[in-house]
Chain A
Amino acid sequence: MEFENNTLSVEGLPQLEALSFQKLNKEYLWMRLTFMVSLYLLLLGAALLYNFFTEKFAVWLLPSGLSLLLIWFLIAEIVGFKYKGFVLREHDISFKTGWIFFSMTSVPFNRIQHTEVTQGPFERIFDLAKVKVYTAGGASSDIAIVGLSEVDAKQLKEHINLLSSKHA
Chain B
Amino acid sequence: MPNNELDLSQPQRQSVVGVGVIFIKKLRRAVNVLLSILVIQFGMKADFTSFWLNGAIGLVFLGLLVAAVLTYRNFFFYATEDSFIIEKGVLSKERITVPFERIQTVNVNQNLIQRILGVVGLNIDTAGSSAKELEIAALPKAMAKQIQSFLMESKQAAVDETIVEEEPNSTEKKERKALVRLTLKDLVKVGLTENHLRTAGILFALISGYFWQFQQYFEGYTNEVIENNSNMLNSLITMQSFIALAFILGIGIFSIIQAILKFYGLRFYCDEEGVKLESGLLKRVSYQIPENKIQLIKWSTNPLRRLVGFKTVVVKQASSVELNDKLSIMIPACNELHLNRVLENFFPEQATSDFKTYSAQRWFCYQLVLLFALLPAALLASLGIYETPFFFIAIAWFLIAAPFSWMYAKRMRLESNRDMLQLQRAWVFPQRIYLHYYKLQSVQLKQNVFQKRRGLAHLVLHTAAGSYQMWQMDESEALEIYNYALYKIETAERSWM
Whether A16 and B452, one on each chain, are in contact in the complex, defined by CB atoms closer than 8 angstroms, is no
Whether A136 and B445, one on each chain, are in contact in the complex, defined by CB atoms closer than 8 angstroms, is no
Whether A108 and B490, one on each chain, are in contact in the complex, defined by CB atoms closer than 8 angstroms, is yes
Q: Answer whether A103 and B486 are a contact pair too, CB < 8 Å, given A8-B416, A17-B479, A140-B460.
A: no
Would you list which residues of chain A between 9 and 66 have a CB under 8 Å from chain B?
10, 13-17
Q: Answer whether A104 and B445 are a contact pair too, CB < 8 Å, given A8-B417, A138-B466.
A: yes
Whether B441 and A10, one on each chain, are in contact in the complex, defined by CB atoms closer than 8 angstroms, is no
Contact for A105 among B320, B442, B447, CB less than 8 A: B442
Query: For A142, what are the chain B residues with a Cβ–Cβ distance below 8 Å?
Result: 442
The yes or no answer to B496 lying at the interface (CB within 8 A) is: yes
Give Cα distance in the complex from A64 to B107, angstroms.
61
The yes or no answer to B199 lying at the interface (CB within 8 A) is: no
B446-490 interface mask toward A, CB cutoff 8 Å, 1 = contact, 0 = none? 111100100000001011101100000000000110111011011
Cβ distance B314 to chain A, nearest Cβ, rounded Å: 17
Q: How many A-B residue pairs have CB under 8 A?
A: 107
Whether B490 and A136, one on each chain, are in contact in the complex, defined by CB atoms closer than 8 angstroms, is no
Q: Answer whether A102 and B448 are a contact pair too, CB < 8 Å, given A111-B496, A140-B467.
A: yes
The yes or no answer to A101 lying at the interface (CB within 8 A) is: yes
Whether A108 and B418, one on each chain, are in contact in the complex, defined by CB atoms closer than 8 angstroms, is no
Query: For A135, what are the chain B residues with a Cβ–Cβ distance below 8 Å?
Result: 441-442, 462
Give Cα distance in the complex from A111 to B447, angstroms.
24
The yes or no answer to A110 lying at the interface (CB within 8 A) is: yes
Whether A106 and B418, one on each chain, are in contact in the complex, defined by CB atoms closer than 8 angstroms, is no
Cβ distance A52 to chain B, nearest Cβ, rounded Å: 41
Task: Give the nearest-CB partner of A91 in chain B.
Answer: B490
21 contacts between A and B (CB under 8 A): A7-B353, A8-B416, A8-B484, A13-B484, A92-B486, A102-B447, A103-B446, A103-B447, A107-B441, A108-B489, A109-B490, A111-B441, A111-B442, A135-B442, A136-B318, A138-B321, A140-B444, A140-B462, A141-B441, A141-B462, A142-B442
Seed contacts A135-B462, A138-B462, A141-B462; 16 additional CB < 8 Å A-B pairs? A1-B491, A10-B483, A14-B487, A15-B479, A15-B483, A16-B479, A17-B479, A101-B447, A102-B446, A108-B486, A108-B490, A136-B496, A137-B464, A137-B467, A138-B464, A141-B442
